[in-house]
Structure 1
Amino acid sequence: MKKEFIKYSLLVLVCFSMMACNDWLSVKPKTEMEAEDLFSTEAGFKDALAGVYTAMTKSSLYGREMTYGIVDVVAQQWGSIGTNHRYANALKYEYEATNTKPIIDTLWSGLYNAIANANSVLAYIDKSSVIFTGDNKQIIKGEALALRAFLHFDLLRLFCENAKSTSDEDGIPYVDELTKQVTVSVSPAKVVERVIQDLTDAATCLANDPVLTGREVSTSEDDGYLVNRNYHLNYYAVMGLMARVYMYAENTTEARRCAMVVIDAHKNRNVFPWADKNDVLNEKKEIRDRTFSSEHLFALNIKKLTDYIEGYFMSTSVPLLTRVSPGTLFVAGNDFRSFFFETMNYVGDVPSKLWQMDGVTVDGQLLTPKRDRMPMIRLSEMYYIVAECDKAIPATAVARLNEVLASRGYDDSELLDPISVNSADAVQAEILNEYRREFIAEGQLFFYHKRMKDEKLNGYTVNYVFPKPDTEIEFGK
């Protein structure tokens, strides 16, 4: 690993550029604090955990590059990348270009830096003599384990050819401890194994997560620490992530099982309910729920998102536009998602999913939208996973897809017809269509194409493997 990682394995970086709605995140920044001091109180553990989420919100990570930035560019999501655009070379998979390589190198270092911070929490929590409130110790530990798994899995998806190789040369370092020693790579297959183990352990730790037990938590309890669980890698987000990992590793049996845990809870307990039409398509555009926030199993609260999207979706005459036009992408006129393309600076069909509105005053009352949210794992993905696992029985798979489409405003005449979608290939084609519609500006389309081994996109031969930094090759072996 880079030398800078050694520094961060000893010191916990806690940067609070992102502040969630909870009081427990409303604290002053603490950087390079001695670990022993930081972890001498429960509040210190909470701060350190919040610091991991905060690190993930940077524009160099999930605030841009891992969502609507370079990862959506190489998925050929955008059709408005000109020759002078910062992503012009990335669009053509020229990863060593001078305007592309620094972005990729920073992805590597940023993700491992966040992992180092998660490892700091885990290194101290079991040996801590701190008396924690209620179940907080296990919940904090569970989230830290899940974060470590989440970050390693995205490194695997970016920097490894596949999830099956047993060659260490094809893999990445799986860093699960604080050490001054260089962490050498392990094979992709071993990375998957360790990701699943971390997620399994996380689920055990989260056995008393309020989102699972159904315990009501007030904002006054423990300064609201356990409120807004979809801003955390909660129990169901862990199961959803596990479904995603198993699907990537081509273990459809386990992928289906994990996804159904989420779907069953959604159906039986109304957790992560489908977005309400009145919230999504409110006549007051300023307060529309543009990301369908109730469906987020896990989302990042990014307070700087307004700044990050400037020049990409707002405050620019050359915004990112989808390569497939909305008129082609959304064949059903009632699809809620088709309403989030608007005209800006005389440019039409600008994706407005990530527009950040300030609200509107109605009858003397300020109404504010659900904003500053970047979806990381969605309920709909669980339905797509199960549909793909069931595609050998097309009618069953179509029924799952239709549940999502119904939630998106499709009427009976617009839903998929099992008579026409009557083969596994036809089901897979509809799933691809849904990934294109559902995950605009969220970075998941690239990984879908990679999992499906699509060789060409938009006329380009795809390179699915980002190059590791030169320093990692030199020092990390």
Structure 2
Amino acid sequence: MIRYTYKYSQGADKWIFLFCLFSLSFLTTSCNDWLDVSPAEDRKKTEIFSKADGFRNVLVGAYIRMKSTDLYGKEMMCETVENLAQHWNVRTSSSVEAYLNKYDYRAKEVENVMSKIYNNLFKVVADVNGLLGSVDNGVLGETDYNLIKGEALALRAFCHFDVLRLFGPMPTETNSDKILPYVKEVLNRPNAFLTYEQFTRELLNDIDEAAACLKKGADPILTNSIDDLNRASKLSDSFWGYRQMRMNYYAVCALKARVVLWMGDKAKALECARIVIDAKTPAGTAMFRLGTLNDCASGDKILSSEHIFNLKVNDITVSLGSGKTYQKTQSQLRSQLYESGTTDIRFVN
């Protein structure tokens, strides 16, 4: 297991994390084949999950891992995935960016970066699986139980969906072949590979159970505005603040919209998206809305009113250098990214 402790900085807009003990070990590139767990490690696991703080710490640790440069702190946000989408013209022919741009998956550089992404996605899965394996031990009260379990299930689904998108077949090209493992347990043996149908069934089951847990646990985002959630003094337990930076109920609905749209069910995707679009604060205003020029003028350059779920990474760097230029022309961007007649400020400006 991984163990983390945390401290919340009152009056600040961030968590301060302190790392403690243990590491995850992965022996294959296909699944999380764990080292044999010794009795001593079993005892440590029991100790970690003997208090509610242990569950909270491990959950926080999963979010920290997601912020690593091999995942959403870089490669899954503005590096590898952007090159796979061919967003950049790359002049250096022997760089990893150039190989990705050409879909040259046999290049050693590409194998290395894709292997790191794959392994680290499953490391996040292992983090939450360790938690989920002990969540029914009776330690947690009802609120913590439902919210922690809901977030953990949602993170497991979130990471598996990106594994499917990057390493699985397109939804229009599926068959009965075994494609990928859907990892739900911490094991000392390889996890079985599933068919596309089996994998997506497990994915949707996790999402639906996560939504049910968060709703049953009365996710604070259902009864508070984002501003109130970002002020610790408004909550009886500050751990449940900053819900935009965690897998909240609306984030799970948005995730399901993405998944079912990927699977080709546009009607269901719209139904799920509507839950987010129509969400209201206690005052009756939109919970989430498109950013405006007034937001920018007030210093909110990230347009936080649009955030349903985010990971805060302060030290991200992108290796653009002189070797890259943007591939799409302005006219292409306008036609591909925006509806005709939109007033979105990114289009207008």
TM-score of the two chains, using structure 2 as the length reference: 0.81
Alignment correspondent of 2:232: 219
How many angstroms does 1:196 deviate by? 0.8
Structure 2 counterparts to residues 292-441 of structure 1, below 5 A: 292-305=303-316, 308-309=317-318, 311-312=319-320, 316=321, 318=322, 320-326=324-330, 329-330=333-334, 405-408=342-345
Q: Which residue of structure 1 lines up, in the alignment, with residue 288 of structure 2?
A: 272
Larger displacement relative to structure 2 (24-33 or 118-127): 24-33
**Counterparts of 2:10 and 2:65 in 1: how far apart (Å)?**
13
- CA shift, 1:143, in A, is 0.4
Matching of residues 65-76 of structure 1 within 5 Å: 65-76=75-86
Task: Confirm or deny that 1:63 pairs with 2:67.
Answer: no
User: Closer, same or farther in 2 for the Cα pair 1:15/1:78, shift >3 Å?
Assistant: farther
Q: CA, structure 1 residues 238+131, in 2 after alignment: closer, same or farther (shift >3 Å)?
A: closer
> Are the counterparts in 2 of residues 25 and 47 from structure 1 also a CA contact under 8 Å?
no
Q: For 1:81 and 1:15, locate their aligned partners in 2 and report how far apart those are by CA, in whole Å.
A: 45
Preserved contact between residue 118 and residue 145 of structure 1 (Cα < 8 Å): yes
1:172 paired with 2:188, answer: no
Aligned partner letter, 1:28:
L
1:404-426 CA-partner distances (Å, limit 9, x unpaired) = x3242767xx9xxxxxxxxxxxx
RMSD between superposed Cα atoms in Å: 3.0
Amino acid paired to 1:406: T
Aligned: 1:32 with 2:22: yes
Q: What is the DSSP-based 3-state SS (H/G/I as helix, E as strand, rest coil) of the residue aligned with 2:21? A: strand
Question: Amino acid of the residue matched to residue 297 of structure 1?
Answer: I
Given the alignment, which residue of 107, 124, 143 partners 1:135? 143
1:244–1:407: structure 2 CA closer, same or farther, 3 Å change rule? same
- Secondary structure of the 2:105 match is coil
What fraction of aligned residue pairs are identical, expressed as a percent? 29
Correspondence for 2:41: none
Letter paired with 2:345: R
1:186 to 183, 194, 213: 194
CA contact (8 A) 2:49 2:134 kept: yes
Q: Secondary structure at the match of 2:308?
A: strand
Select 1:256's aligned residue among 253, 270, 275.
Answer: 270
Match of 1:155 in 2: 163
Aligned residue for 1:28, secondary structure, equals strand
* Residue number among 257, 260, 268 corresponding to 1:243 in the alignment: 257
- Structure 2 unmatched runs, 5+: 24-43
CA distance in structure 2 between the partners assigned to 1:24 and 1:130 by the alignment: 27
Question: 1:31 is matched by which residue type in structure 2?
Answer: L
Deviation at 1:288, TM superposition (A): 5.2
The alpha carbon displacement at 1:105 in A equals: 0.7
Q: Which of 31, 37, 41 is the aligned partner of 2:51?
A: 41
Residues 183 and 191 in structure 2, CA contact (< 8 A), matched pair in contact too: yes
CA contact (8 A) 1:24 1:224 kept: no
Distance 1:104 1:206, change over 3 A: same
AA of the residue aligned to 2:188: K
CA distance in 1, matches of 2:164, 2:330: 32
CA shift in 2, pair 1:109/1:122, >3 Å: same
Structure 1 position 122, deviation (Å): 0.7
Q: 1:329 to 1:136 in 2, by over 3 A?
A: same
Structure 1 unaligned regions, length at least 5: 1-10, 332-380, 385-397, 415-477
Matched residue count: 317
CA offsets, 1:424-462, max 9 Å, x none? xxxxxxxxxxxxxxxxxxxxxxxxxxxxxxxxxxxxxxx
Query: Which residue in the other structure is 2:220 paired with?
Result: 210
Using the TM superposition, give the Cα deviation of residue 300 of structure 1 relative to its aligned residue in structure 2, in angstroms: 0.7
Superposition TM-score, scaled by structure 1 size: 0.61
CA contact (8 A) 1:167 1:186 kept: no
8 Å Cα contact 1:172/1:185 also seen in 2? yes
Q: Report SS of the residue matched to 1:300.
A: coil
8 Å contact from structure 1 (residues 24, 223) kept in 2: no
Alpha carbons 1:42, 1:130 under 8 Å: kept: yes
Closer, same or farther: CA 63–96 of 1 in aligned 2, 3 Å: same
How far residue 118 of structure 1 moved from its aligned partner, in angstroms, is: 0.9
Contact 1:22 1:224 in 2 (8 A): no
